[in-house]
Structure 1
């Protein structure tokens, strides 16, 4: 499986960081370029075991540039429908790690997609977040 590696575009990275109140470092890779670069990785990820996928998501989430957190969330999201509730909830700590509106919106999509396919489990999913101070 090919690793996604972004070459830094200094000018765009500064613009992107400023837009996000300089809370995160960016490589300066626009979303359409990032999506094209991660396409094969996302496709290949569908053959990974949950443990391998979980490790890969954490690998990308740990990187400093914000675009890598987007890759990590995309990896989780394209695989969400094949996960159990217990597996989905293993991603919950990442929601508050490096949290801002952009990652919050993306994680919301991840959990909502799973919930839409597992409607009977929605009360348990909701309960896992209800009352959490950081949410």
Structure 2
């Protein structure tokens, strides 16, 4: 698999990030399980090394790491995320994603370039999808001017950036901008990659929970434009 990068971003000074990273690397490192690490790396298509921490173990360790720490500001969130992204093992990126999901409301629209860096650096669905739905989506919901950035992302040559644009409205329900969603799906309808075709179907399927008629009518109107995978996913819960 190919791994794209997005250059480097400056890590802001953050005493909170210093504390968290010291605690995090000590806790995760002590609990590493090399026997599990190999199969986990293989399952994720060798995107990065793993420490071998199962999800329940990792979350329990994370709670210990976070115990007693204050709420972060945007600079803290940026520092924690970027420093975790520079560590080799994937579990550190999982910690950063969970941290950003919890504190997305503490970040302004100026945080969007940081999310783009995270999405396009060491990219795989395990981090990209959560960042799209819970962090990018939250930023755009809080500042609708960022929809213009999503318009640009939806046509990006980096498939993970385009996938993020497709999925950023997953949690919007009745607040979904259906015209934008449908436009993004059409824009990428001929994309050859599985992850884009799957994202199209997933985004439409999720919106179909709110407005099934709109999704069905859209697919009828644009019949023949989408890969069978996208259509199957979109109609999974509402029928043909």
Classify the TM-score, shorter chain: 0.7 to 0.9
Q: Distance in 2 between matches of 1:128 and 1:41?
A: 37
1:57 and 2:77 are equivalent in the alignment: no
Summarize the Cα distance change of 1:43–1:87 in structure 2 as closer, same or farther, 3 Å threshold.
farther
Summarize the Cα distance change of 1:45–1:99 in structure 2 as closer, same or farther, 3 Å threshold.
farther
1:104 and 2:124 are equivalent in the alignment: no
Q: Any conservation in 1 of the 2:41–2:48 contact (CA below 8 Å)?
A: yes
Q: Distance in 2 between matches of 1:81 and 1:91?
A: 14
Runs (5+) with no aligned partner, structure 1? none
Summarize the Cα distance change of 1:124–1:114 in structure 2 as closer, same or farther, 3 Å threshold.
same
How far did residue 102 of structure 1 move? Answer: 1.0
- The TM-score normalised by the length of structure 2 is 0.50
Superposed CA offset, 1:53-83 (max 9, x none) = 2111111111111101111111222111122
1:4 and 2:15 are equivalent in the alignment: no
Superposed CA offset, 1:63-116 (max 9, x none) = 111101111111222111122112233221110100011111121122123334
- The TM-score normalised by the length of structure 1 is 0.83
Which of these residues, 102, 106, 115, is aligned with residue 140 of structure 2?
115
1:91 and 2:115 are equivalent in the alignment: yes
Q: Distance in 1 between matches of 2:131 and 2:68?
A: 21
Q: Distance in 1 between matches of 2:71 and 2:148?
A: 27
How many equivalent residue pairs?
134
Which structure is larger by alpha-carbon Rg, 1 or 2? 2
